[in-house]
Amino acid sequence: MNRNLFTTSINKGFTFGIVMIFLVLIDFEVMAATMLSKLLGVNVVRGALPEVRFMIIFLVLYGLFVGWFASSDQEKPAKKLFQALIAGLTVAVVVGLFDIALNQLITTGTDVRAYLAALGPASIKLFLLEKGALGSLLHLGLFTGASLLGSVLKILLKSDPMSHFLKGISTVYRDLRAKTQAITPNWIKEYGKYLLFLLIGLSAFFLPRMWGSYNNYVLGLVGLYVILGIGLNIIVELSGQLMLGFAAFFAMGAYSMALLNAPLPHGIMLGFWPALAIGVLMAVLAAVLLGLPVMGMRGDYLAIVTLGFGEIIRILLKSDLLTDFTGGPRGIQDIKGPTLFGQPFSSDIDYTYIILVFMILSIFIYKRLERSRTGRAWMAVKEDTKVAEATGVNIKNSKLLALCLGAAFAGLAGGIFAARNQFTGPNDHQLMVSMNILSILIVGGINSVPGIILGAFTLKGLPEILREIENYRLLVFGGLLVFMMISRPEGLWPATRPNIEKDEGNRQKAESPPGKGGQHD
């Protein structure tokens, strides 16, 4: 074994050891063990600690993770096992030294919470597996053994027999799919998608009535962020404008609804539907005022300007000088809901229906725009402004139109958001809202409607369902983004249209006769 391999393995193990110490300092390991206990059917009372066995499971899973990533793909099996062994031992040594310090704190009765608010004596004892000083030896065995097991799993799963097995499954699946398509009647092929849409529509109609209020709230939140994601996708992906202040347009819709449909501060009480339409128009007007002077900018400069615009709007809404007009830092409360044919239409089920209808309408408009002449002009502008201009595309008008349409979607979502919550304030429109919407595109898949839906559910739906990770949302959020950038840079559900066009072009090129058009000469 060469010296470089040994050093690299130690460095990896040291890094994983420091990460584990960091997770313990923020009490993340207790949350992870709690989630594992619930996944395995053992409920944990809120505020209580899980059983020791679930902490052991978490440590073993972490060791498997260490062994998998410490062993290089380019090395032979023996060297992979060596890398995993050295990395696992290094993790155990680093964590073991930390264990000694933790045990000393427990022995001396030091109040750890005076220094680390998230770390308490009970959680320290749980991490030490309730064995005190012997916890270090247990950690040594767990990390070393699990790391070796992780390397073995990697060797087995990436071996030639396993590759052949997976290819065989893929071949069987393709053959089964081809046979199924061959025996499927033509009328199902032609009208099958409409039947699928009908089933989705029926589910969307009945599920809100069967779910409770909280599930409807989560579904509505995901739907609103799908609308926001579609709006931002028009600006960022179709027209190629990096927008970091998208929450400003969201605020325009929300505050328009609040100012026009709440008893205070003005008592206008215009009604939900007119206020919603005005909110959309105000968001479009803000986009025009922002877009006209900055259409010549692009890249980082445009991102910084839009970021500043979003912060200016938030600071103005929070300003004490505008308290009499916007409610100031305390926001606006008691925003009234919609009526339909003179009857109140503002229960949690009703709002779910409203959000689903507008979400479907937004998707329909987006798909029509994407395939239209305007959508292709946006894509041309994004790829190369000079070439697009040479083909007759008005660059500034195209960019401004994309900005206005994206803002309209944000204003629509903002108005519904404010009415459903019966409140809106400056904290609802912070920079983090813009980052969340942009991250939905990154995680789900840019320019992919299914990806936007999946991204909205992943970043907004799951954190609401898994309330146990509430204190670690930003940690999980950042880790997810890093993971996506490394392993799935195109998103969980990437757009397929560019690949289809490329495949179609390759097929036509292959089918063209030799010598035609100057080819194969």
The β-bridge relationship of strands 339-340 and 332-333 is unpaired
Residue 429 has pLDDT above 90, yes or no: yes
| Whole-number pLDDT of residue 516 | 45
Region 502-510: what's the mean pLDDT?
50
Query: Using the 8-state DSSP alphabet, how is residue 242 labeled?
Result: -
Region 375-390: what's the mean pLDDT?
89
Mean pLDDT score across all residues of the chain: 87
pLDDT tens digit sequence for 17-74: 999 999 998 888 988 898 889 888 888 877 788 999 999 999 999 999 999 999 888 7
Using an 8 Å Cβ cutoff, are 69 and 133 in contact?
no
| Whole-number pLDDT of residue 162 | 87
Find tokens 């690949």 and name the residue: 499
Lowest-confidence range among 92-96, 188-192, 337-341?
Answer: 188-192
Q: What tokens were used for 260?
A: 């026009």
Query: d(Cα 421, Cα 355) in Å, to the nearest integer?
Result: 13
Return the beta strands (E) in 14-58 as ranges. Answer: none
**Tally of CB atoms within 10 A around 389:** 15
Residue 10: name the closest of 75, 87, 106 by CA: 87
Find tokens 């239409």 and name the residue: 345
Query: d(Cα 228, Cα 441) in Å, to the nearest integer?
Result: 10
| Whole-number pLDDT of residue 496 | 67
**In 3-state terms, the chain is what percent helix, strand and coil (to 5)?**
80, 0, 20
**Tally of CB atoms within 10 A around 166:** 11
| Whole-number pLDDT of residue 519 | 43
Q: Please, where in the chain does CATH 1.10.3470 lie?
A: 207-495
| Whole-number pLDDT of residue 255 | 96
Residue 410 has pLDDT above 70, yes or no: yes
Region 131-152: what's the mean pLDDT?
92
Region 177-199: what's the mean pLDDT?
81
Sign for the pseudo-dihedral over CA of 280, 281, 284, 286: negative
Q: What tokens were used for 266?
A: 């003005």
Q: Reply yes or no on domain 207-495 having CATH 1.10.3470.
A: yes
Query: d(Cα 304, Cα 298) in Å, to the nearest integer?
Result: 10
- Output the CA–CA distances (angstroms, integers) from residue 34 to 42, 48, 214, 472, in the order listed: 9, 9, 22, 13
Percentage of the chain exceeding pLDDT 90 = 47
**443 sits in which H/E element:** helix 431-444
Lowest-confidence range among 105-114, 154-163, 206-215?
Answer: 105-114
| Whole-number pLDDT of residue 501 | 47
pTM value?
0.81
Residue 229 has pLDDT above 90, yes or no: yes
pLDDT interval class at 368 (50, 70, 90): very high
| Whole-number pLDDT of residue 3 | 73
Residue 314 has pLDDT above 80, yes or no: yes
